Structure formats: C-alpha cells, structure tokens
Structure 1
Amino acid sequence: MKKQKLNYQLKMLRKNNQSELKAKREIPFEIRLASQLLLDDLCFRWNKARLEKDINQSLDEQNEEAFKELSKTFNSYIWES
C-alpha cells in the first residue's frame, strides 16, 4: 500500500494580540478504514441480535404475521455466498 501523504491545516489564532499557528494532521487512511469496518461490524451484530430477540418474542406471543415480516428481514443477515 502506498504511503499516504500528510496534509496540514494551518490556522491563525489571535489571543491577547499574540499570533499563534496550529497545525492539524489528518488521520491516516488505514485508521479511518479500520474504524469504519469496526463500526459496521458492531452495527451489524447489534441489529442481528435485536432481530433475533424480536423474532423470539413474536414466537412466544404466537404472532405469525410479525414473525413472517421479521424473518424476511432476518434473511438478509444470514445470507451467505
């Protein structure tokens, strides 16, 4: 993987008539990608667990209509290629 370039933003801040420059470094691509993948996985697992709970609840209540609707949604979480 190519090494990412660093970009700096220089901002002029004035406090008490003194000039200060602050440089801000961008977050590397690898860290942003890993963070996004982690968040996606956490959301996927949470949504899947919530759907399983709702399906089990509809079975306990013998609500066939809710079960069919939830199971259709759940199929996208268990699909494998």
Structure 2
Amino acid sequence: MKKEKVIFRYHPYNGKVLQARREIPYEIKLTARLLLDELCFNWNKEHLEAQLNSSIEKGNKEEFEQLRKVYLDYIWESNTP
C-alpha cells in the first residue's frame, strides 16, 4: 500500500487584525451588580429620609404625604411579619 502525503500551504492574512477580549466571569459580574444596587438603594433611601425630615421641619404636609408614599416602597420588607 502506497503512503499518502499531505501538503499544507499557508497563505498570509492581509486583513485587519482582530483583538480577542477576555470575558469577565459571571460571578464577578453578579457581585458587582449586587454591590452597585445596594449602594444606590442605600443612597436613595438616605436622600429620601433627608427630604422627609426637611418637609417635616418646614411643615409642608403635601410634600410629606408625597414623599411618604415613595418611602413606603423602601421599607415594605421590614413591615411584613
């Protein structure tokens, strides 16, 4: 039986060189997202509490009622038994 020969020919690529990006692991993406969500939640809650306290000091009942409705969304978990 006669041996077969395999010949490879390489042709240089003349196109644009593409750089492959390394993908960030899912665990790091999830941790970063959760951390940012918690930071934003806490900042928004503190800011809203400051506005509520300001409306109480000013005696503005309409503004207080409006802010109170928004603030209830931030504390609804702690009110459930």
Q: If the length of structure 1 is used for normalisation, what is the TM-score?
A: 0.72
Aligned to 1:45: 42
Name the amino acid aligned to 1:24: R
2:68 matched to which residue of 1? 71
Q: 4+ residue runs of structure 1 moved beyond 3 angstroms?
A: none
Matches within 5 A, 1:1-81: 12-13=16-17, 22-80=19-77, 81=80
Structure with higher Rg: it is 2
What is the TM-score when the length of structure 2 is the normalising length? 0.72
Higher relative contact order by CA 8 Å / sep ≥ 6: 1 or 2? 2
Question: How far is 1:72 from its partner?
Answer: 0.5
Give the Cα separation in 1 of the matches to 2:37 and 2:58. 32
**Number of residue pairs matched?**
63
* CA root-mean-square deviation: 1.2
Unpaired segments of 5 or more residues in structure 2?
Answer: 1-15
